[in-house]
Chains A and B, each alone.
Chain A
Amino acid sequence: MTETESQEQAAGLTQEGRFYSADRLHAMHDMMLFIRRFEEKAGQMYGLKKIGGFCHLCNGQEAVCVGIEEASDSNDYMTTSYRDHGHVLARGTAATSVMAELLGRAGGVVGGKGGSMHMFNVEKNFAGGNGIVGEQVPIGIGFGFASQYRDDKRVSITIMGDGGVNQGAVYESFNMAALWKLPVVFVIENNQYAMGTSLSRASAETHLYKRGISFKVPGIQVDGMDVLEVERKMSEAIEHARSGKGPMIVEMMTYRYRGHSMSDPATYRTRDEVNEWRSGRDPIVRLQKQMIEAGLASEAEFKQKDKDIKKDVAAAAKAAEAQPEPDLSALWDDVLTDEIPNAYPYPRQVG
C-alpha cells in the first residue's frame, strides 16, 4: 500500500491538496484551545495581581502559533517578541513551567528571571522572548547564519509583529538575509495594531508582505486565522528557505482579542470590529466546524475536550503557584559564564 492510498483510507481531511490526518487535526485543535485557555487563565491571574509587570496575551492568534509549529522541524530555530506565551507552549514547553515563569517562581522556564516577555527554551530551540521591539530580527538571522555556516539545514523562524516591522533593524536583516541567502522565514504577525496605533496610522505600505521587495525577499500573505492555511504556507516558506533559496516573508493576517498588554483596555477599536473577528473568524471555531463537517469529531466531543483542557490549565496553574519563589542566591547566578573571582565587581557579592 502506498502512502497516498493509506491516506485516502485514513480519517482526515484534505485542503488545497494537502492531507491532514484526524490525529493531527485533533492535536492542532487541542493545542490552539490549550493556548486560548492558558491565556485566559493568565489574564485572570494578572487580574488577581499574581502576575506582575507586563503581560501580553495572544488570544485570537493561536492559529499562527500552532500552524508555524506544525510546519517546522523541532530542530528549526525560533525567535519572537514579547508576545511569546503561545509560541513557547506550541513548541512543546510544559505549561506549568510557563505559568511558573509568569508567577515569578523557581520552576519557571527561565527560573523566574524573565517573566512574561522572556520565555526561552533552548531544548526546543526557542530563543525568546525578546522585549525590545524588533530586537529579535537580527538575532534570528544570526541563527540562520549559524545554520548556513555549519550547513545543517536548519531554518530560523523569525517572528515579529506589525509594529516591529517598522524598526530599522528589520530592514538591515532583510538585506543581509537576502544578500547571503540565509535560511530564514520572517513571519509578520499582523494583528492590525501596534499597541494602540492601527496599521494604517503607522505604515505607508500596509501590505506588509511587500516590505521585502527592495531587498528581493519574496513575501506572501496568509489568513492567520486558518491554522491549516498557516501550516501549508509556512511549510512552503520553510522549504524555500531550507532548500537554499534564501529568506521569505510570511504575513499572517490575525487579530488579538485582548489589549496590547493587560493594562490596555483597547479603547482604540470598536466593539463591532472585535466581534467581527471573534465570532466570524475565530481559528478554533473554524477548525472545529471543518472537523465536524468532515465527520472527524462531534460538538459534544469538543465540549468535553474544552472541559478537560480547562482542567489541565487549572492544574498547571495550581502546580505553578505551589512552587517556591527563586532562592535569593539565584540573584547572582548566570550573570557571567566565566566569572573572575578576584576582580571587581566581585561575583556574587556586594561591594
Chain B
Amino acid sequence: MAKITYREALNQAMCNEMERDDRVFLMGEEVADYNGAYKVSQGMLDKFGPKRVIDTPITELGFAGLGVGAAMAGLRPIIEFMTWNFAILAADQIVNAAAKMRYMTGGQYHCPMVFRGAGGAAARVSSQHSQSFENWYANIPGLKVVMPSNPADAKGLLTASIRDNDTVIFIENEINYGDISEVPEGDYIIPLGKADIKRVGTDITIVAHSRMTGYALAAAKELAKQGIEAEVVDPRTIRPLDEATILASVAKTNRALVVEEGWRFAGIGAEISARIMEKGFDDLDAPVTRVTGKDVPMPYAANLEKHALPSVAEIVEAARVTCNRA
C-alpha cells in the first residue's frame, strides 16, 4: 500500500469514479485551471478536460443549484465548496431543494450528488473561516453527512459518497489535507453508516470525528501512560450514525466522552450523548462528558485561537474526570 496524503486520497477517489462513470463531473471555484484552492483536484482538468472539471464564478448558491438540477436530470455532480463557510450562501439549494427532492416529489426525482469541501477551523483565519457545520446538515432528513479523519477513510468514504444515490454532505478538514498514511490502491470503498474503532481500549470510549479523531488518539496515548486504556471510535458517517458500534463500545468500557471541534450547544456531542443516555444508560458508570470548541466566534490571535479549540490536554483531563481519576 502506498503512503499518500489526505488530499491525494480524495483526488484518487474522484478520478477513479470519473473514469468509472461518465455522469460524474466536478464543479466549483478554482477546481480546474488553478488545480484546486487546496490542490485536491490537482491534475484533474488535464485528465478529464473542461467539460467535466469546471471552474465556476464565485457564485455558491448558483452552482449548488445547478448541481441540483443536473442531478435531477440524471448526472452525478460533485460540487466543491472552497470551504463550508461559503456553503451557507447555498443552504437554500442544499436544504430546501436537494434534501427534500425525493420526498417532495413522491420519489419521482432525487439528487444523487456530493457537496464537498473543507470544514472546521484552519489556521489563523478567524471567525468567518473557522466553523463546523456538520450538526446543521445532520439535522436534516434526506441528507447524509460524512467526515473522514485520515487518508484511507477519505478515499473509501468519498468513493462511497459519489456512488450513493442520495445527497451527501462530505466535510473534509483543511488541517488534515497534508496528512500522510497508507491508502489502498485501486477501487476502495468504505460503506456509509459504519463507524470505525481507531484504537481498542477497555476503560473509556472516546467518540471523535474528523480532525478530533487524531486529537483523541493522541490523548489516548497520553492516557495509556497514566494507566487508562481509551477506545477511540470514529463515526466517519455523522448521519446516519452507526450508534451500534458506539453503544457496544460503551457497554464494554462503561464510560464515554464525545469530542468535537464545533460548538457545544445542539452539537454532534449533544446528539451522541443523548443516544448513549437513551440506549446505554444501564451501561454507564459515569455521566457522558463532552469536549467541544468554546462557545465563541473564532478569534485570530494565535493564543486565543488555540484556547478556543479543543486540545489534547482537555481530552485527557475530561477522560480522567470521567474515569474518576482526576
Whether A329 is near chain B, meaning CB under 8 Å from some CB there, is no
B25 located at the interface, meaning its Cβ lies under 8 Å from any Cβ of chain A in the complex: yes
Q: What are 19 A-B pairs at a CB distance below 8 A?
A: A108-B106, A122-B108, A129-B105, A135-B96, A138-B64, A139-B68, A139-B97, A141-B65, A142-B69, A143-B70, A145-B66, A173-B62, A175-B62, A176-B62, A333-B107, A336-B166, A337-B110, A337-B165, A340-B192
Q: Is the CB of B108 within 8 A of A146?
A: no
* Partner of B105 from A110, A176, A338 at Cβ < 8 Å: A110
Complex Cα–Cα for A344 and B268 (A): 13
B186 to chain A, nearest CB (A): 23
Contact assessment for B103 and A146 in the assembled complex, using a CB-CB cutoff below 8 Å: no
A118 pairs with B105, CB closer than 8 A: yes
Structural contact, B112 and A146, CB atoms closer than 8 A: no
**Residue B56 interfacial (CB < 8 Å):** yes
CB of B73 within 8 A of CB of A169, answer no
Residue of B nearest to A347 (CB): B240
Stretch at the interface among B207-215, B241-249, B258-266: B241-249
Instruction: Known A132-B92, A138-B93, A337-B102; judge A342-B193 contact (CB<8 A).
Output: yes
The 8 A CB mask of A88-114 against B (1 = contact, 0 = none) is 000000000000000000001111111
Indicate whether A131 reaches chain B with its CB closer than 8 angstroms: yes
In the assembled complex, the Cα of A130 lies from the Cα of B96 at a distance in Å of: 9
**Which B residues form the contact surface with A (CB < 8 A)?**
25, 51, 56-57, 59, 61-75, 92-93, 96-97, 102-110, 112, 141-142, 144, 164-166, 192-194, 237, 239-244, 275, 278
Q: A125 to B264, alpha carbons, bound, how many Å?
A: 45
Are A345 and B108 closer than 8 Å at their CB atoms?
Answer: no
Find out whether the CB atom of A146 lies under 8 angstroms from the CB atom of B104. no
Contact flag A334-B72 (CB < 8 Å), given A175-B62, A176-B59, A343-B237 = no
Instruction: From the candidates A130, A144, A334, name the one contacting B107 in the complex (CB within 8 A).
Output: A334
Q: Flag if B57 contacts A343 (CB, 8 Å).
A: no
Is A79 located at the chain interface by the 8 A CB criterion?
yes
B166 CB contact (under 8 Å) in A108, A130, A338, A351: A338
A147 touching B57, Cβ below 8 Å:
no
**In the complex, are the beta carbons of A146 and B69 less than 8 A apart?**
yes
Residues of A within 8 A of B112 (CB): 337
Q: Mark A146-184, 1 if CB is under 8 A from B, else 0.
A: 110100000010000000000011001101100100000
In chain A, positions 306-351 with a C-beta closer than 8 Å to chain B are: 333-338, 340, 342-347, 351
Q: Which residue of A lies closest to B107 (CB)?
A: A334
Q: Which residues of B contact A139 (CB under 8 A)?
A: 65-66, 68-69, 72, 93, 97
How far apart are the CA atoms of A147 and B72 in the complex, in Å? 12
Closest chain A residue, CB of each to CB of B58:
A172
Residues of B contacting A335 with CB < 8 Å? 102-103, 141-142
B106–A334 CB distance below 8 A: yes
Known: A143-B72, A340-B193, A344-B275. 4 other contacts (CB 8 A): A138-B61, A138-B66, A342-B242, A344-B241
The residue on A at minimum CB distance from B246 is: A344
**B70 touches which of A110, A114, A122, A142 (Cβ 8 Å):** A142
A-B CB proximity, top 9 nearest: A142-B69, A138-B65, A172-B62, A343-B240, A146-B73, A110-B106, A340-B193, A343-B193, A111-B106
Contacts of A145 in B (CB 8 A): 66, 69-70, 75
Measured between beta carbons, the chain A residues less than 8 angstroms from B107 are: 111, 333-334
Do the beta carbons of B96 and A131 come within 8 Å of each other? Answer: yes
Decide: A141 and B102 in contact? CB cutoff 8 A: no
Shortest CB–CB separation between residue B124 and chain A, in angstroms? 30
Which B residues are CB-close (under 8 A) to A140? Answer: 69
| In the complex, residue of chain B having the shortest beta-carbon distance to the beta carbon of A79 | B69
Tell me the minimal C-beta distance from A220 to chain B in angstroms: 23
**Contact of A113 with B70 in the complex, beta carbons under 8 Å:** no
A225 contacts chain B at the CB level, 8 A cutoff:
no
Query: Known: A138-B68, A143-B70, A340-B193. Is A345-B103 also a contact (CB below 8 A)?
Result: no
Residue contact A169 to B66, C-beta cutoff 8 Å:
no
B68 touches A343 (CB 8 A): no
Rounded to whole angstroms, the CA-CA distance of A79 and B66 in the bound complex is 13
Whether the pair A143, B142 counts as a contact (CB closer than 8 A) is no
Which of A169, A175, A342 lies in contact with B65, CB distance below 8 A? A169
Partner of A334, one of B70, B103, B193: B103
**In the assembly, what is the distance between CA of A175 and CA of B63, in Å?**
11
List the B residue with the shortest CB-CB distance to A147: B73
- Which residues of chain A are near B237, meaning CB under 8 Å? 340, 343
Instruction: Report which residue of B66, B102, B193, B278 has the largest number of chain A beta carbons within 10 angstroms of its beta carbon.
Output: B66
Q: Is A121 an interface residue (CB 8 A)?
A: yes
CA distance A118 to B109 in the complex (A): 12
User: Which residues of A sit under 8 angstroms from B59, Cβ to Cβ?
Assistant: 172, 175-176
Taking CB atoms, residues of chain B closer than 8 Å to A142 are 65-73
Complexed CA–CA distance, A332 and B278 (Å): 22
Cβ–Cβ < 8 Å partners of A173 in chain B: 62, 65-66
Cβ contacts under 8 Å, A113 to chain B? 103-106
CB-CB nearest in chain B for A122: B108
Q: Is A127 part of the binding interface, using a Cβ–Cβ cutoff of 8 Å? A: yes
Task: Give min CB distance, A209 to chain B, whole Å.
Answer: 21
